[in-house]
Amino acid sequence: MRKNFQNVGFYPQPVLVVGTYDQDGIPDAMNVGWGGLVGGTYVELNISRGHKTTENIRQKRAFTLSFADQANLVAADYVGLVSGYDVPDKIARAGLHPIRSDFVDAPLFEELPLTLECQVVELTEEGPGGVRIVGQVLNMSADESILGEDGLVDADKAHFLSFDRVRRVYRLLGGVVGQAYQDGKQRMK
């Protein structure tokens, strides 16, 4: 038997940190709960109009999207709790160190090991108070510490966080349990 839920959402979700600059070049970051991949080279975010991050994205038409890891759980949670409008030194208080992107007018953060660098291609007002932002990923950068012997990102080394919306906790992702595009072939015989 199945149980139906009215609270719709992906389960679990990656913990994403959006990085932006304001009009004065001051870095900001926020933890977002609604975001994901759209097609091969686009991401979508759904955030409220009132955030400093939203205003920064409107002005700069660029943002970075970093995947939070276990080592930076406190910093990632903190940037989702306070507003850059209220706490001007939010990034310093979080313990994050911004690095200027070579691809977009938005910061990467030294501590967050995997980042997508995005240019806004669509910004749409959605429902009461929401904004839908679609960004084209111009670059993905990864710290060498999370690369495997093959030179690719290794999720087990990265210790990426996921957000369990039902229980409101962070969980770790990791562990290989199967081979994509291979294991299902046993049903093709």
Instruction: Tell me which CATH code domain 13-187 carries.
Output: 2.30.110.10
Nearest CA to 73 among 106, 108, 38, 31? Answer: 31
Domain boundaries, the chain: 13-187
Tens-binned pLDDT, residue by residue, of the chain (189 aa):
987 777 666 667 889 999 999 999 999 999 997 788 888 899 999 999 989 999 999 999 999 999 999 999 999 999 999 999 999 899 999 999 999 999 999 999 999 999 999 999 999 988 788 899 999 999 999 999 999 999 999 999 999 998 887 788 888 877 778 888 888 888 887
